[in-house]
Amino acid sequence: RNSARDRSGTAEAATAETVTSAFVTEVGHDPAGVWAAPGRVNLIGEHTDYNDGFVLPFALAEWVVVAAGPRDDGTWRVRSLTRRQTVSFGPDELVPGGVDGWAAYVAGVVWALTEAGHDVRGADLVLTSDVPAGAGLSSSAALECAVLTALVDLSDLHVAPLDRARLARRCENEYVGAPTGLLDQAASTLCEADNALFLDCRSANHRQVPLDLGAAGLELLVLDTKTPHSHLTGEYGDRRHACEEAARILGVPALRDVTLEGLDDALARLPDDVMRRRVRHVVTEDARVLEAVAIADEGRPADLAPLLDASHTSMRDDFEITVPTVDLAVETARAAGAHGARMTGGGFGGCIIALVPEGGSDTVGQAVAAAFAEAGYGAPAWFVGVPSAGARRLS
């Protein structure tokens, strides 16, 4: 849907009702409750998380919603209304690779909780999602965090919020096999409405940063180029490997330890131009996050625009993770009145975000759609990104 979504309490109740009645049909009795976890956009700080650096995401009003209830036979049965599939698994499948496809994110959460010593009860789960899949909006983290939140409550487990994010990441890294950082699961778990989340990925220290775009006459357009991406393919892992190799050569624990002041010296010690550009992206991106946090703290969100632009240029030219559709979307958005724009997420497709005048998202979205049509690309989709709450129980 190409406009601001109706995220009123009524819409939330309607989604909870959808999964609840599907649960009753599937399982034959009422669920014990309904839980939800959101997708996210990353305002700034891309490919910094696994370099021990800084990120500034906010949670979206797009959610994975799950109705759940206990089973007595020690197995898990999960129905996805979005995928129209049901998958069952038991203790034997709780090994990395035991379940694949979308249900791996569910089995992986049970596995990660179990590995951490928690006694997870069998469960029936019925879920739905309006987080676009494969769009760089963390649909997989939303799935992991929604299921984890449900299972923690169902099994009466005590898991602190940050540990929930870490366990969901462990599911993604070790069970599913995608070498990602903590950004997505932290956003889906720890974000609060009307705020972005400032996270130091080394210490895991974090705090809310107020983000009142409306007060500044702005809104954040989220535009899906519909160019699918995946972190299971080689490019993401290649970037990560290059960063780790550079840190090793520079003799630092992670690229987080290279300062902006020390950047030129560090670059001079690296063997090739590609590695130098990878490092320059990470070091300058960390600095941009810190600047963005200072700007947001001062309530000057309009001043985020040049940072978004600089981040995009850095991802395009230095980290080389953008693709032609994404670059065209960013350029067109700016030409159509966006103050600043950048790709968001891991890259190689997915979404852009653009800071636009309040009410201007459709104008900018339509301009990108026209440019895509002219270039022979498929139609994009867009909506207004609203800083929303992290994972929680709905009923």
**Among 130, 134, 120, 133, which Cα is nearest to 89's?**
120
- Among 20, 33, 43, 46, the residue binding ligand GAF under the rule CB under 6 A is 46
The answer to whether 136 is annotated as binding is yes
Stretch that binds ligand GAF, among 12-20, 176-184, 309-317, 332-340 (CB under 6 A): 176-184
What six digits make up the tokens of 12? 């939330």
The answer to whether 123 touches 137, Cβ cutoff 8 Å, is no
The answer to whether 311 is annotated as binding is no
Q: Does 346 bind ligand GAF (CB under 6 A)?
A: yes
> Per-residue contact track with ligand GAF, 240 to 269, x per CB under 6 A?
------------------------------
184 carries an active-site annotation: yes
> Beta strand pairing status for 340-344 and 123-129?
unpaired
The answer to whether 134 is annotated as binding is yes
Site for ligand GAF in 282-321 (CB under 6 A): none
* Burial status of residue 264 (CB atoms within 10 A of its CB: 0-12, 13-18, 19 or more): exposed
The answer to whether 172 touches 189, Cβ cutoff 8 Å, is no
Radius of gyration of the chain, Cα coordinates, nearest whole angstrom: 21
**Among 302, 341, 340, 301, which Cα is nearest to 322's?**
341
Dist CA 98 CA 91 (whole Å): 10
Q: Does 365 bind ligand GAF (CB under 6 A)?
A: no
The answer to whether 188 is annotated as binding is no
Q: Does 37 bind ligand GAF (CB under 6 A)?
A: no
Q: Does 53 bind ligand GAF (CB under 6 A)?
A: no
The answer to whether 137 is annotated as binding is yes
Q: Which of 124, 184, 303, 309 is catalytic?
A: 184
What six digits make up the tokens of 119? 């006694």
DSSP H or E stretch at residue 139: helix 139-154
- Among 166, 231, 256, 316, the residue binding ligand GAF under the rule CB under 6 A is 231
Of 108 and 181, CB closest to ligand GAF: 181
Q: Does 33 bind ligand GAF (CB under 6 A)?
A: no
Instruction: Summarize as ranges the residues that interact with ligand GAF (CB under 6 A).
Output: 42, 46-47, 49-50, 180-181, 183-184, 231, 345-346
Positions annotated as catalytic residues are 184
